[in-house]
């Protein structure tokens, strides 16, 4: 692949993605905490470190950041991406937004950047930390067919499936659909493990039984040990789950849908956040279930 590539955001998902991309070829990385980027570069010489977002300006820039305010923060100012693209005279760069964001705000960002000659594609990812490390992520893309074809090539080392959902904003909406399923499953499994424990059933035995029947899911496969050990070190957090559910509700309101189940799940996760568990893995909502 000859396209100049950068990745901004070396968090729980971005770091394993950058590692796989750097194994294929050159990539520039930037992270607010510089030590993470420098450690990656020491491990894989194909990864170059950009001290500022401007230095990460490239033909394709992947942003693996929590929300759009974080994306805007790396765009603006003398050290931002916009300044870097202008300085390096990069024609029609492609900004790829890979976090779970509001489709409404994503389309606003795309409109704003179009006036600067920057194309925007929304390409949120699903598959969890394990999927990021294994290179099996599912990517929901909002963009033109040509942009999706380019992105499929760019992301080949870290994505098992890249799917065009429609025009810009469609990827963000599809990811919110994904998050509704994930959050509802996490909530249901949390209640199931709470009920089993309260009834004297071993949690590991329950997990094995659920995983062998219709209740089997990727959520259960990846997250079962959290419920079994009642230890909730974060991957995706309760805080992020609340954010995603709020955006899903915003999108549902915009099209006139009253999603009762989603509202109930949001209420549960919001209670968990309010109780101080926002920084836990989203399976930590289990604590709220047993508190209730």
CA distances from 83 to 10, 33, 76, 217, 223 (A): 22, 21, 8, 45, 42
Within 95-215, residue ranges assigned H as helices are 103-114, 128-134, 145-154, 170-198, 203-210
- Name the catalytic one among 23, 175, 249, 273: 175
Q: Is 273 a catalytic residue?
A: no
CA distances from 239 to 37, 43, 218, 292 (A): 25, 31, 21, 19
CB-count burial class (<10 Å; 0-12, 13-18, 19+) for 52: middle
Q: Which helix (H) or strand (E) holds 8?
A: strand 5-8
Q: Which helix (H) or strand (E) holds 17?
A: helix 14-24
Q: Assign residue 9 a region: left if phi > 0, alpha if psi is -120 to 50, beta otherwise?
A: left
CA–CA dist 282, 236 (Å, integer): 6
Task: Give the residue numbers marked as catalytic.
Answer: 175
């Amino acid at each position: 692949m000859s396209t100049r590539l950068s990745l901004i955001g070396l968090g729980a998902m971005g770091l394993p993605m950058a590692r796989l991309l750097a194994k294929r070829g050159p990539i520039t990385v930037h992270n607010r905490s510089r030590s993470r980027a420098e450690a990656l570069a020491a491990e894989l010489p194909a990864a170059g470190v950009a001290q500022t977002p401007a230095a990460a300006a490239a033909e394709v820039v992947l942003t693996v950041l929590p929300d759009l305010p974080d994306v805007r923060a790396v765009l603006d100012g003398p050290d931002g991406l916009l300044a870097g693209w202008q300085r390096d005279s990069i024609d029609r760069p492609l900004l790829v937004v890979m976090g779970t964001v509001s489709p409404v705000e994503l389309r606003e960002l795309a409109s704003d950047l179009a006036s600067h000659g920057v194309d925007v594609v929304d390409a949120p990812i699903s598959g969890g930390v394990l999927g990021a490390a294994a290179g099996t992520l599912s990517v929901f893309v909002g963009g033109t067919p040509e942009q999706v074809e380019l992105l499929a090539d760019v992301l080949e080392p870290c994505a098992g499936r890249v799917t065009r959902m429609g025009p810009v904003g469609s990827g963000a909406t599809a990811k919110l659909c994904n998050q509704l399923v994930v959050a509802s499953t996490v909530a249901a499994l949390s209640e199931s493990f709470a009920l089993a424990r309260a009834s004297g059933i071993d949690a590991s035995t329950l997990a094995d039984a659920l995983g062998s029947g219709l209740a089997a899911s990727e959520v259960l496969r990846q997250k079962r040990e959290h419920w079994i050990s009642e230890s909730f070190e974060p991957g995706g957090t309760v805080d992020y789950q609340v954010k995603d559910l709020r955006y899903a509700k915003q999108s549902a309101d915009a099209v006139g849908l009253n999603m009762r189940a989603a509202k109930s799940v949001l209420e549960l996760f919001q209670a968990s956040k309010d109780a101080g568990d926002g920084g836990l893995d989203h399976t930590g909502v289990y604590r709220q279930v047993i508190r209730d």
